[in-house]
Amino acid sequence: MSERPAIANLEQTLSTCKLVVAVGSGGVGKTTTAAALAIAAARRGRRCAVLTIDPARRLAQALGVTRLGNEPQALAAEVVAPGSVDAMMLEAPEALDRLIERMVPDPARRERLFANRLYQVIARHLGGTHEYMAVERLYSLVREHDYDLVVLDTPPTVNALDFLDAPTRIAAFFSDKITRFFQRKHDENRGLIQRIRDRAGEVAIQVLGKALGEDFIEELIDFVTAFGGLFAAFQERGIVAEKLLRDPSSAFVVVTGADPVRVAEAEELSKTLARLDLEARCFVANRVHASPSVDARAHLSADDVERALAGFASDVDVAVLAEGLAGAQSIRASLARRDRIGLARLAELAGKKRLLVVPELDDEVGDRGAIDHLIAAMFEPR
Protein backbone atom coordinates (compact mmCIF):
# COMPACT_ATOMS: atom_id res chain seq x y z
CA MET A 1 0.00 0.00 0.00
CA SER A 2 1.75 3.10 -1.20
CA GLU A 3 1.02 6.71 -2.03
CA ARG A 4 0.30 7.29 -5.71
CA PRO A 5 3.42 9.38 -6.41
CA ALA A 6 5.56 6.55 -5.02
CA ILE A 7 3.80 4.01 -7.25
CA ALA A 8 4.34 6.23 -10.28
CA ASN A 9 8.00 6.55 -9.33
CA LEU A 10 8.37 2.77 -9.00
CA GLU A 11 6.50 2.23 -12.29
CA GLN A 12 8.91 4.57 -14.02
CA THR A 13 11.96 3.04 -12.37
CA LEU A 14 11.01 -0.47 -13.44
CA SER A 15 10.15 0.50 -16.99
CA THR A 16 13.11 2.78 -17.74
CA CYS A 17 16.06 1.81 -15.53
CA LYS A 18 18.74 -0.57 -16.72
CA LEU A 19 20.12 -1.41 -13.30
CA VAL A 20 18.35 -1.63 -9.96
CA VAL A 21 20.44 -2.30 -6.85
CA ALA A 22 18.67 -3.53 -3.72
CA VAL A 23 20.47 -2.57 -0.49
CA GLY A 24 19.47 -3.03 3.15
CA SER A 25 20.26 -4.74 6.44
CA GLY A 26 19.99 -8.48 6.92
CA GLY A 27 16.63 -10.17 7.37
CA VAL A 28 14.44 -7.44 5.89
CA GLY A 29 13.48 -9.36 2.76
CA LYS A 30 16.03 -7.83 0.41
CA THR A 31 16.51 -10.92 -1.72
CA THR A 32 12.78 -11.50 -2.04
CA THR A 33 12.29 -7.84 -2.90
CA ALA A 34 14.99 -7.99 -5.59
CA ALA A 35 13.25 -11.00 -7.14
CA ALA A 36 9.86 -9.27 -6.88
CA LEU A 37 11.18 -6.16 -8.65
CA ALA A 38 12.59 -8.24 -11.51
CA ILE A 39 9.35 -10.19 -11.87
CA ALA A 40 7.26 -7.01 -11.77
CA ALA A 41 9.40 -5.49 -14.53
CA ALA A 42 9.12 -8.68 -16.58
CA ARG A 43 5.35 -8.57 -16.28
CA ARG A 44 5.62 -5.13 -17.87
CA GLY A 45 7.35 -6.76 -20.81
CA ARG A 46 11.01 -6.33 -19.94
CA ARG A 47 13.75 -8.94 -20.23
CA CYS A 48 15.40 -9.04 -16.83
CA ALA A 49 18.18 -10.69 -14.90
CA VAL A 50 18.35 -10.93 -11.13
CA LEU A 51 21.71 -11.60 -9.50
CA THR A 52 22.20 -12.33 -5.84
CA ILE A 53 25.70 -12.21 -4.42
CA ASP A 54 24.65 -13.33 -0.98
CA PRO A 55 26.62 -16.45 -0.09
CA ALA A 56 23.67 -17.62 2.00
CA ARG A 57 21.83 -19.00 -1.05
CA ARG A 58 18.38 -17.68 -0.37
CA LEU A 59 17.07 -16.64 -3.72
CA ALA A 60 16.48 -20.18 -4.95
CA GLN A 61 14.16 -20.79 -2.05
CA ALA A 62 12.19 -17.63 -2.68
CA LEU A 63 11.89 -18.37 -6.38
CA GLY A 64 11.13 -22.06 -6.09
CA VAL A 65 14.07 -22.85 -8.36
CA THR A 66 15.86 -25.99 -7.23
CA ARG A 67 19.36 -24.65 -7.32
CA LEU A 68 20.79 -21.31 -8.33
CA GLY A 69 24.32 -20.98 -9.56
CA ASN A 70 26.51 -18.97 -11.87
CA GLU A 71 24.51 -20.05 -14.90
CA PRO A 72 21.30 -18.08 -15.56
CA GLN A 73 18.11 -20.02 -14.92
CA ALA A 74 14.93 -18.78 -16.57
CA LEU A 75 11.91 -18.45 -14.31
CA ALA A 76 8.70 -20.11 -15.50
CA ALA A 77 6.94 -18.13 -18.24
CA GLU A 78 3.60 -18.16 -16.41
CA VAL A 79 5.25 -16.21 -13.58
CA VAL A 80 6.97 -13.56 -15.69
CA ALA A 81 5.10 -13.24 -19.02
CA PRO A 82 5.19 -11.33 -21.26
CA GLY A 83 8.81 -10.56 -20.27
CA SER A 84 11.44 -12.87 -18.83
CA VAL A 85 13.65 -13.23 -15.77
CA ASP A 86 16.96 -15.05 -15.64
CA ALA A 87 18.01 -15.71 -12.07
CA MET A 88 21.53 -16.47 -10.93
CA MET A 89 23.66 -16.55 -7.84
CA LEU A 90 27.28 -15.60 -7.77
CA GLU A 91 29.63 -18.37 -6.75
CA ALA A 92 32.84 -16.44 -6.53
CA PRO A 93 35.64 -19.06 -6.79
CA GLU A 94 34.07 -20.68 -9.80
CA ALA A 95 33.28 -17.32 -11.35
CA LEU A 96 36.85 -16.12 -11.02
CA ASP A 97 38.31 -19.33 -12.50
CA ARG A 98 35.97 -19.06 -15.43
CA LEU A 99 36.80 -15.45 -16.00
CA ILE A 100 40.52 -16.23 -16.01
CA GLU A 101 39.89 -19.05 -18.47
CA ARG A 102 38.26 -16.56 -20.78
CA MET A 103 40.85 -13.88 -20.35
CA VAL A 104 44.00 -16.01 -20.46
CA PRO A 105 44.03 -18.17 -23.57
CA ASP A 106 47.52 -19.60 -22.94
CA PRO A 107 47.07 -22.77 -20.84
CA ALA A 108 50.60 -22.70 -19.36
CA ARG A 109 50.20 -19.17 -18.08
CA ARG A 110 46.75 -19.98 -16.78
CA GLU A 111 48.04 -22.99 -14.85
CA ARG A 112 50.81 -20.90 -13.32
CA LEU A 113 48.20 -18.48 -12.09
CA PHE A 114 45.89 -21.19 -10.74
CA ALA A 115 48.88 -22.71 -8.91
CA ASN A 116 49.83 -19.43 -7.24
CA ARG A 117 48.90 -19.56 -3.57
CA LEU A 118 47.90 -15.92 -3.50
CA TYR A 119 45.48 -16.55 -6.31
CA GLN A 120 44.07 -19.60 -4.55
CA VAL A 121 43.47 -17.65 -1.39
CA ILE A 122 41.93 -14.76 -3.23
CA ALA A 123 39.73 -17.05 -5.29
CA ARG A 124 38.66 -19.55 -2.67
CA HIS A 125 39.05 -18.36 0.87
CA LEU A 126 38.41 -14.73 1.21
CA GLY A 127 35.16 -12.95 1.80
CA GLY A 128 36.00 -9.82 -0.12
CA THR A 129 36.10 -11.68 -3.39
CA HIS A 130 32.32 -11.75 -3.58
CA GLU A 131 32.25 -8.01 -3.95
CA TYR A 132 34.97 -8.05 -6.58
CA MET A 133 33.25 -10.74 -8.57
CA ALA A 134 29.87 -9.09 -8.28
CA VAL A 135 31.36 -6.05 -9.96
CA GLU A 136 32.81 -8.27 -12.65
CA ARG A 137 29.51 -10.06 -13.10
CA LEU A 138 27.63 -6.80 -13.25
CA TYR A 139 29.98 -5.64 -15.98
CA SER A 140 29.46 -8.72 -18.11
CA LEU A 141 25.68 -8.83 -17.58
CA VAL A 142 25.28 -5.26 -18.66
CA ARG A 143 28.01 -5.16 -21.31
CA GLU A 144 27.86 -8.57 -22.90
CA HIS A 145 24.25 -9.61 -22.46
CA ASP A 146 21.26 -7.93 -23.80
CA TYR A 147 19.07 -7.54 -20.73
CA ASP A 148 16.70 -4.59 -20.46
CA LEU A 149 17.08 -4.57 -16.70
CA VAL A 150 19.50 -6.13 -14.24
CA VAL A 151 18.39 -6.33 -10.61
CA LEU A 152 21.21 -6.78 -8.15
CA ASP A 153 20.84 -8.10 -4.63
CA THR A 154 23.63 -7.07 -2.21
CA PRO A 155 25.08 -8.36 1.07
CA PRO A 156 23.59 -6.93 4.31
CA THR A 157 24.08 -3.25 5.17
CA VAL A 158 27.37 -3.38 6.98
CA ASN A 159 28.98 -4.72 3.84
CA ALA A 160 27.02 -2.50 1.48
CA LEU A 161 29.64 0.19 1.59
CA ASP A 162 32.30 -2.41 0.77
CA PHE A 163 30.22 -3.42 -2.16
CA LEU A 164 29.45 0.06 -3.48
CA ASP A 165 33.04 1.01 -2.95
CA ALA A 166 34.38 -2.13 -4.64
CA PRO A 167 34.68 -0.71 -8.18
CA THR A 168 36.80 2.17 -6.89
CA ARG A 169 38.98 -0.15 -4.85
CA ILE A 170 39.35 -2.53 -7.76
CA ALA A 171 40.32 0.25 -10.09
CA ALA A 172 42.82 1.49 -7.49
CA PHE A 173 44.24 -1.95 -6.76
CA PHE A 174 44.72 -2.85 -10.37
CA SER A 175 46.00 0.53 -11.37
CA ASP A 176 49.56 0.71 -12.61
CA LYS A 177 50.42 2.79 -9.60
CA ILE A 178 50.26 -0.25 -7.38
CA THR A 179 50.87 -3.22 -9.54
CA ARG A 180 53.93 -2.02 -11.42
CA PHE A 181 55.88 -1.97 -8.16
CA PHE A 182 55.35 -5.64 -7.85
CA GLN A 183 56.10 -6.56 -11.41
CA ARG A 184 59.47 -7.98 -12.30
CA LYS A 185 61.35 -5.26 -14.00
CA HIS A 186 61.91 -5.91 -17.64
CA ASP A 187 63.03 -2.53 -18.58
CA GLU A 188 65.65 -0.57 -16.72
CA ASN A 189 65.63 2.36 -19.10
CA ARG A 190 63.12 4.38 -17.25
CA GLY A 191 63.48 8.12 -17.03
CA LEU A 192 64.64 9.96 -13.96
CA ILE A 193 61.18 11.12 -12.91
CA GLN A 194 59.88 7.59 -13.23
CA ARG A 195 62.62 6.30 -10.94
CA ILE A 196 61.98 8.97 -8.34
CA ARG A 197 58.30 8.13 -8.32
CA ASP A 198 59.20 4.52 -7.78
CA ARG A 199 60.81 5.36 -4.44
CA ALA A 200 57.40 5.17 -2.77
CA GLY A 201 57.02 1.68 -4.15
CA GLU A 202 60.47 0.57 -3.02
CA VAL A 203 59.72 1.72 0.51
CA ALA A 204 56.38 -0.04 0.39
CA ILE A 205 57.99 -3.29 -0.65
CA GLN A 206 60.53 -3.05 2.13
CA VAL A 207 57.90 -2.24 4.73
CA LEU A 208 55.51 -4.91 3.53
CA GLY A 209 58.41 -7.36 3.44
CA LYS A 210 59.20 -6.63 7.08
CA ALA A 211 55.59 -6.92 8.11
CA LEU A 212 54.46 -9.80 5.98
CA GLY A 213 57.63 -11.80 5.35
CA GLU A 214 59.97 -11.75 2.35
CA ASP A 215 58.29 -14.92 1.12
CA PHE A 216 55.05 -13.14 0.66
CA ILE A 217 56.58 -10.42 -1.43
CA GLU A 218 58.10 -13.08 -3.73
CA GLU A 219 54.71 -14.72 -4.02
CA LEU A 220 53.08 -11.38 -4.65
CA ILE A 221 55.56 -10.56 -7.39
CA ASP A 222 54.85 -13.96 -8.99
CA PHE A 223 51.16 -13.32 -8.75
CA VAL A 224 51.36 -9.88 -10.24
CA THR A 225 53.63 -11.10 -13.01
CA ALA A 226 51.35 -14.05 -13.81
CA PHE A 227 48.36 -11.76 -13.77
CA GLY A 228 50.25 -9.53 -16.13
CA GLY A 229 48.05 -7.86 -18.68
CA LEU A 230 44.90 -8.77 -16.79
CA PHE A 231 45.28 -5.79 -14.53
CA ALA A 232 44.31 -3.35 -17.19
CA ALA A 233 41.22 -5.41 -17.97
CA PHE A 234 40.23 -5.57 -14.30
CA GLN A 235 40.84 -1.92 -13.83
CA GLU A 236 38.73 -1.12 -16.84
CA ARG A 237 35.93 -3.25 -15.48
CA GLY A 238 36.15 -1.48 -12.13
CA ILE A 239 35.89 1.88 -13.84
CA VAL A 240 32.97 0.78 -16.02
CA ALA A 241 31.12 -0.70 -13.03
CA GLU A 242 31.66 2.50 -11.08
CA LYS A 243 30.24 4.53 -13.99
CA LEU A 244 27.35 2.10 -14.20
CA LEU A 245 26.42 2.54 -10.54
CA ARG A 246 26.40 6.30 -11.10
CA ASP A 247 24.52 6.25 -14.39
CA PRO A 248 21.14 8.03 -14.40
CA SER A 249 19.61 4.76 -15.63
CA SER A 250 20.68 3.04 -12.40
CA ALA A 251 18.56 3.17 -9.25
CA PHE A 252 19.14 2.17 -5.62
CA VAL A 253 16.28 0.69 -3.66
CA VAL A 254 16.65 0.64 0.12
CA VAL A 255 14.81 -2.33 1.60
CA THR A 256 13.91 -2.16 5.29
CA GLY A 257 11.42 -3.19 7.94
CA ALA A 258 9.25 -0.69 9.83
CA ASP A 259 10.65 -1.52 13.25
CA PRO A 260 12.40 1.66 14.50
CA VAL A 261 15.69 -0.27 14.83
CA ARG A 262 15.55 -1.28 11.17
CA VAL A 263 14.51 2.22 10.15
CA ALA A 264 17.57 3.64 11.96
CA GLU A 265 19.71 1.24 9.91
CA ALA A 266 17.99 2.31 6.70
CA GLU A 267 18.69 5.90 7.64
CA GLU A 268 22.38 5.11 8.13
CA LEU A 269 22.41 3.39 4.78
CA SER A 270 20.91 6.33 2.97
CA LYS A 271 23.59 8.51 4.58
CA THR A 272 26.23 6.12 3.28
CA LEU A 273 24.73 6.42 -0.19
CA ALA A 274 24.78 10.19 0.12
CA ARG A 275 28.45 10.13 1.14
CA LEU A 276 29.17 8.24 -2.07
CA ASP A 277 27.13 10.82 -3.91
CA LEU A 278 24.42 8.28 -4.70
CA GLU A 279 20.73 8.46 -3.90
CA ALA A 280 17.98 6.03 -2.95
CA ARG A 281 15.29 6.01 -5.65
CA CYS A 282 12.79 4.19 -3.42
CA PHE A 283 12.43 2.78 0.08
CA VAL A 284 10.52 -0.48 0.48
CA ALA A 285 9.20 -1.05 4.01
CA ASN A 286 8.59 -4.77 4.27
CA ARG A 287 6.48 -6.81 6.65
CA VAL A 288 4.78 -3.81 8.18
CA HIS A 289 2.44 -4.81 10.99
CA ALA A 290 -0.93 -3.15 10.93
CA SER A 291 -3.94 -3.97 13.00
CA PRO A 292 -7.34 -2.35 13.28
CA SER A 293 -6.87 -2.91 17.00
CA VAL A 294 -3.97 -0.50 17.08
CA ASP A 295 -5.95 2.09 19.01
CA ALA A 296 -8.44 -0.27 20.65
CA ARG A 297 -8.90 0.84 24.23
CA ALA A 298 -11.88 -1.12 25.54
CA HIS A 299 -10.86 -4.39 27.10
CA LEU A 300 -12.68 -7.29 25.61
CA SER A 301 -14.84 -9.12 28.14
CA ALA A 302 -16.28 -12.62 28.34
CA ASP A 303 -19.74 -11.06 27.95
CA ASP A 304 -18.72 -9.51 24.62
CA VAL A 305 -17.60 -12.94 23.43
CA GLU A 306 -20.80 -14.57 24.71
CA ARG A 307 -22.87 -12.06 22.70
CA ALA A 308 -20.78 -12.44 19.57
CA LEU A 309 -21.17 -16.21 19.74
CA ALA A 310 -24.96 -16.06 20.17
CA GLY A 311 -26.62 -18.54 17.88
CA PHE A 312 -23.34 -20.34 17.06
CA ALA A 313 -23.39 -23.87 18.37
CA SER A 314 -20.06 -24.58 20.02
CA ASP A 315 -18.70 -25.95 23.27
CA VAL A 316 -15.97 -23.32 23.38
CA ASP A 317 -14.73 -22.09 26.75
CA VAL A 318 -15.80 -18.45 26.60
CA ALA A 319 -13.34 -17.27 29.26
CA VAL A 320 -10.38 -18.89 27.49
CA LEU A 321 -11.49 -17.47 24.15
CA ALA A 322 -11.92 -13.99 25.60
CA GLU A 323 -8.47 -14.12 27.11
CA GLY A 324 -6.98 -15.35 23.83
CA LEU A 325 -8.68 -12.60 21.84
CA ALA A 326 -7.58 -9.89 24.24
CA GLY A 327 -4.02 -11.24 24.30
CA ALA A 328 -3.84 -11.40 20.50
CA GLN A 329 -5.19 -7.87 20.22
CA SER A 330 -2.64 -6.58 22.64
CA ILE A 331 0.32 -8.20 20.85
CA ARG A 332 -0.83 -7.10 17.42
CA ALA A 333 -1.63 -3.60 18.60
CA SER A 334 1.79 -3.28 20.18
CA LEU A 335 3.52 -4.39 16.98
CA ALA A 336 1.38 -2.02 14.94
CA ARG A 337 2.20 0.88 17.27
CA ARG A 338 5.90 0.08 17.07
CA ASP A 339 5.82 -0.05 13.26
CA ARG A 340 3.74 3.11 13.06
CA ILE A 341 6.53 4.97 14.85
CA GLY A 342 9.17 3.53 12.50
CA LEU A 343 7.08 4.18 9.44
CA ALA A 344 6.51 7.82 10.41
CA ARG A 345 10.28 8.32 10.62
CA LEU A 346 10.74 6.55 7.31
CA ALA A 347 8.07 8.72 5.67
CA GLU A 348 9.98 11.79 6.84
CA LEU A 349 13.19 10.39 5.42
CA ALA A 350 11.78 9.15 2.12
CA GLY A 351 8.96 11.58 1.40
CA LYS A 352 5.77 10.73 -0.47
CA LYS A 353 7.48 9.96 -3.71
CA ARG A 354 9.81 7.30 -2.46
CA LEU A 355 8.08 5.17 0.18
CA LEU A 356 6.50 1.82 -0.69
CA VAL A 357 4.76 -0.01 2.13
CA VAL A 358 4.28 -3.78 2.16
CA PRO A 359 2.09 -5.10 4.97
CA GLU A 360 3.01 -8.28 6.87
CA LEU A 361 1.12 -11.26 5.49
CA ASP A 362 -1.31 -12.67 8.02
CA ASP A 363 -1.80 -15.92 6.13
CA GLU A 364 0.35 -18.82 5.07
CA VAL A 365 1.12 -18.42 1.36
CA GLY A 366 4.52 -19.96 0.66
CA ASP A 367 7.56 -18.34 -0.95
CA ARG A 368 6.05 -17.68 -4.37
CA GLY A 369 2.92 -16.32 -2.71
CA ALA A 370 5.10 -13.97 -0.69
CA ILE A 371 6.62 -12.57 -3.88
CA ASP A 372 3.18 -12.08 -5.43
CA HIS A 373 2.02 -10.37 -2.26
CA LEU A 374 5.04 -8.07 -2.37
CA ILE A 375 4.39 -7.07 -5.96
CA ALA A 376 0.68 -6.51 -5.37
CA ALA A 377 1.27 -4.49 -2.19
CA MET A 378 3.90 -2.20 -3.70
CA PHE A 379 1.57 -1.24 -6.53
CA GLU A 380 -1.58 -0.97 -4.47
CA PRO A 381 -2.64 2.64 -3.88
CA ARG A 382 -3.31 3.37 -0.26
Partner 1 sequence: MPATDDEQAALSSERTARAQLDEILVSRQIVMVTGKGGVGKSIVTAALAMRARDLGLRPLVFELDAPPRTSLFPDGRPAGDDVEELAPGILGINQRSEDAIRDYAISTLPSRTVAELLFENRVSKLFLRASPSVSEMALVGRVAILAEKHGADGPVIVDLHATGHALSLVQAPAGIMKVLRGGVLHERARRIEEILSDPQRTAFVTVALPEDLPVTELLDLRARLRELRAPLGPVVLNGMIEEPAPLVADAVLAHLEHGPLAHAAHDLRALRTWARRAARERERLTAALAVDGTALLTLPFVHDELKPGALAATLAARIGGIA
- Out of 97, 219, 372, 380, point to the residue binding partner 1 (CB under 8 A): 219
Residue 160 beta carbon to partner 1: minimum distance, rounded to whole angstroms: 11
Q: Residue from 82, 292, 351, 369 that binds partner 1 (CB under 8 A)? A: 292
Question: Using CB under 8 A, which of 44, 321, 345, 379 touches partner 1?
Answer: 321
Report the distance separating Cα 241 and Cα 144, nearest Å: 13
Q: Which of 79, 233, 329, 368 binds partner 1 (CB under 8 A)?
A: 329
Dihedral, 328, 329, 331, 337 alpha carbons, nearest 10: 160
Query: Counting contacts by CB under 8 A, is residue 193 touching partner 1?
Result: no
Beta bridge partner(s), residue 19? 150, 250
* Residue 90 · residue 70 · CB < 8 Å: yes
| Residue 122 binds to partner 1 (criterion: CB under 8 A) | yes
Single residue of 317, 344, 348, 352 touching partner 1 by CB under 8 A: 317
Give Cα 23 distance to the centre of its chain. 5
3-class secondary-structure state, position 111: helix
Side by side, which strands form the sheet with 19-23? 73-74, 84-89, 47-52, 149-153, 19-23, 250-256, 280-288, 355-359
By beta-carbon proximity to partner 1, the closer residue of 245 and 335 is 335
Q: Is 356 left (phi over 0), alpha (psi -120 to 50) or beta?
A: beta
Least separation in angstroms between residue 18's CB and partner 1 is 27
- The answer to whether residue 274 forms part of the interface with partner 1 (CB under 8 A) is no
Min. distance of Cβ 184 from partner 1 in angstroms? Answer: 17
Confirm or reject binding of residue 112 to partner 1 (CB under 8 A): no
Q: Judged by CB under 8 A, which of 8, 126, 196, 232 binds partner 1? A: 126
Q: 318 with 309: CB under 8 angstroms?
A: yes
Is residue 172 near partner 1 by the rule CB under 8 A?
Answer: yes
User: Distance between CA atoms of 160 and 37, rounded to whole angstroms?
Assistant: 19
| Residue 282 makes contact with partner 1 by CB under 8 A | no
**In this structure, are residues 166 and 172 in contact, taking their beta carbons and an 8 Å threshold?**
no
User: In the bound complex, what is the minimum distance in angstroms from residue 324's beta carbon to partner 1?
Assistant: 3
Q: Determine the number of helices (DSSP H) and then strands (DSSP E) in the chain.
A: 17, 8
Write each residue from 227 to 266 as x if it is in contact with partner 1 (CB under 8 A), else as -, in one continuous string: ------------------------------x---xx-xx-
CA atoms within 13 A on the CB side of 226: 20
Is residue 359 involved in binding partner 1 (CB under 8 A)? no
The correct pick among 330, 347, 353, 379 for binding partner 1 (CB under 8 A) is: 330
Single residue of 5, 26, 45, 82 touching partner 1 by CB under 8 A: 26
Q: Binding to partner 1 (CB under 8 A): which residues in 41-60?
A: 54-58
From residue 291, give the alpha-carbon distance in Å to each of 232, 288, 328, 330.
57, 10, 11, 10
Q: Which range touches partner 1 (CB under 8 A), out of 33-41, 68-76, 168-176, 345-353?
A: 168-176
Q: Work out how close the CB of 156 gets to partner 1 at its nearest, in angstroms, rounded to a whole number.
A: 4
